[in-house]
């Protein structure tokens, strides 16, 4: 592993990026005054204060839900074509502002600018995808004796949505795009660790969408988030985050008998078969699957199963590539890994590294915090690889950092059993030249997404979501429109039939 010594890095000033000194909640098409307590938005790499964020409370949520409820009838009455056109305008606005917004996210989350730029490409594609998909979001119909049956799709109403801090642009698009396309209005709570770009996107939304259609209330999960999930006028909940909090959101939905979409944690297997021919290419893709976003990604392929027959060839290449990764600041073009989002998250990751050592896992490389010049406040952690067994905590629990657990295997039955032996089921990867082998294995894996020969192959329109404790429902695809709508059945009889029920009637 190399630590960047690049002295030519230019870090933008927060004011030059148009970051406001403070952000109140965005309700009914306008930012409200900041009242009460605020939260500090701090650049994790440098410790610089970027802005003050309103600490949303139950009153803010009440006002936002009221605005969304008032806007719902007119919004749902728009044609699919009208809503589609507005989503495309919003995608265009995000694209036009992508460089500035990507730089804001790099400051606010500590991730490298190269990655956050890609986030906005994916986010814009989501709005464009659902702008098109909604045009074919049709019900069904068929003749019946003496009439016709119609099943029509209708929006649910006000959707309460909560997103995490790791990829704000993508998470916002995953939630807003299908909900708005289907005709719902939204109250969105961004994470307190990364709210700025979402608040800035709300400025763009104010120029495009009717007031009240999109409302954004920042704050803490235990305060604004809890008020949103418990609100009696919210008709649908959607959450991305930890399994523990997902259970709370799901329980709140169940108590009120409203639908919930939950995209939760993961501990995904990434399986290397012995017939691969390009060891370097596979090692590189495995490393990408686990280290992208500094390992702070729910679907990361952090359990790497390597067959005995190729282990001694594969592992030196994987370790060599991991040690070649440059660690640097978020605006350093030479960096491949940057800092974690907060001291709290870094403490968690370093704690798991200690757990791995203590439970007997073999540390093959990394495992330490490093200091990057000019970013001394940041928690930079070396790319870390353990040789482990599947029953160890580091192989079972989500770490959310740049840590890989490599597990040897030599029997397909045992491999499948161990790959599935986890509470999670979000994603999985397979590397092999044998297509039948790949498909047979994919069919047996308990995972919502299986990527063959290219990890994290996120293609718009391909459903994304998990099995088991990784959540409920699907995003990223036409199926998401179904999650944000409900079916109404209408049976049309052409005329009233002859009397038959009250045969004794003598009138």
- Active-site residue list: 263, 298
What's CA 75's distance to the chain center, in Å?
26
Element (H, E) at 343: helix 343-358
Closest CA to 422 of 318, 267, 303: 267
Q: Which own/partner pairs from 136-145 qualify as long-range (CB within 8 Å, at least 24 positions apart)?
A: 136/478, 137/80, 137/181, 137/182, 137/478, 137/481, 137/485, 139/487, 144/491
Name which of 98, 107, 5 is nearest 47 in CA terms: 107
User: Where is 172: in which H helix or E strand?
Assistant: helix 168-181
- 364 Cβ contact list (under 8 Å, min separation 6): 315, 319, 385, 386, 387, 406
Q: What does the chain come to in residues? A: 507
Rounded distance, CA 346 to CA 208, Å?
39
For the record, the structure tokens of 402 come out as: 């740049």
Express the helix, strand and coil content of the chain in percent, nearest 5 each: 40, 20, 40
Asked if 235 and 157 touch (Cβ cutoff 8 Å), the reply is: yes
d(CA 167, CA 163): 9
As a whole number of angstroms, the distance between CA 110 and CA 121 comes to 19
Question: What string of DSSP letters covers 208-249?
Answer: TSPTTSEEE----IIIIIHHHHH-TT--EEEEES-HHHHHHH
Tell me the Ramachandran region of residue 439: left when phi exceeds 0, alpha when psi lies from -120 to 50, beta otherwise.
Answer: alpha
CB-neighbour burial class of residue 434 (10 A; exposed 0-12, middle 13-18, buried 19+) = exposed
Q: How far apart are CA 160 and CA 156, in angstroms?
A: 11
Closest residue by Cα to residue 14 from 45, 55, 35:
45
Helix (H) or strand (E) holding 26: strand 26-27
What DSSP designation does 337 have?
Answer: B
Give the β-pairing of 30-31 and 380-381.
unpaired
């Amino acid at each position: 592993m190399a630590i960047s010594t690049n002295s030519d890095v230019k870090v933008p000033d927060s004011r030059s990026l148009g970051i406001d000194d403070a952000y109140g909640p965005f309700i009914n098409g306008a930012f409200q005054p900041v009242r009460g307590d605020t939260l500090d938005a701090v650049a994790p790499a440098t410790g610089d204060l970027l802005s003050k964020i309103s600490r949303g409370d139950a009153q803010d949520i009440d006002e936002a839900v009221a605005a969304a409820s008032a806007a719902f009838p007119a919004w749902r009455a728009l044609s699919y074509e009208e809503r589609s056109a507005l989503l495309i305008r919003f995608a265009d606005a995000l694209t036009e502002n992508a460089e500035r917004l990507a730089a804001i996210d790099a400051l606010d989350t500590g991730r490298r600018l190269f990655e956050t730029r890609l986030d906005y490409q994916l986010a814009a594609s989501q709005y464009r995808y659902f702008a098109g998909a909604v045009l074919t979001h049709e019900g069904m119909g068929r003749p019946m004796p003496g009439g016709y049956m119609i099943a029509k799709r209708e929006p649910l109403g006000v959707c309460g949505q909560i997103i995490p801090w790791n990829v704000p642009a993508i998470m916002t698009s995953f939630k807003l795009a299908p909900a708005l396309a289907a005709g719902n209005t939204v109250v969105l709570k961004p994470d307190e660790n990364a709210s700025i770009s979402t608040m800035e996107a709300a400025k763009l939304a104010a120029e495009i969408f009717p007031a009240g259609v999109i409302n954004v209330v920042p704050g803490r999960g235990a305060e604004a988030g809890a008020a949103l999930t418990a609100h009696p006028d919210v008709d649908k909940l959607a959450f991305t985050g930890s399994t523990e909090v997902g259970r709370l959101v799901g329980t709140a939905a169940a108590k009120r008998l409203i639908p919930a979409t939950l995209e939760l944690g993961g501990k995904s297997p990434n399986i290397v078969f012995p017939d691969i021919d390009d060891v370097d290419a596979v090692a590189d893709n495995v490393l990408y699957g686990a280290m992208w976003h500094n390992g702070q990604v729910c679907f990361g392929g952090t359990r790497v199963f390597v067959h005995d027959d190729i282990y001694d060839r594969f592992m030196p290449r994987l370790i060599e590539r991991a040690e070649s990764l440059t660690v640097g600041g978020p605006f350093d073009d030479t960096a491949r890994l940057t800092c974690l989002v907060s001291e709290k998250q870094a403490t968690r990751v370093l704690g798991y590294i200690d757990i791995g050592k203590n439970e007997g896992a073999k540390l093959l490389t990394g495992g330490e915090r490093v200091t990057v010049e000019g970013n001394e406040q940041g928690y930079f952690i070396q790319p870390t690889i353990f040789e482990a067994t599947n029953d160890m905590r580091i192989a079972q629990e989500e770490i959310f950092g740049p840590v890989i657990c490599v597990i040897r295997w030599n029997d397909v039955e045992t491999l499948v059993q161990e790959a599935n032996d986890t509470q999670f089921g979000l994603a999985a990867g397979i590397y092999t030249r044998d297509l039948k082998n790949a498909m047979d294995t994919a069919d047996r894996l308990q995972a919502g997404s299986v990527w063959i020969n290219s990890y994290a192959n996120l293609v718009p329109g391909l459903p994304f979501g998990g099995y088991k404790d990784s959540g409920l429902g699907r995003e990223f695809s036409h199926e998401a429109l179904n999650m944000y709508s409900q079916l109404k059945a209408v049976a049309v009889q052409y005329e009233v039939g002859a009397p038959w029920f009250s045969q004794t009637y003598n009138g």
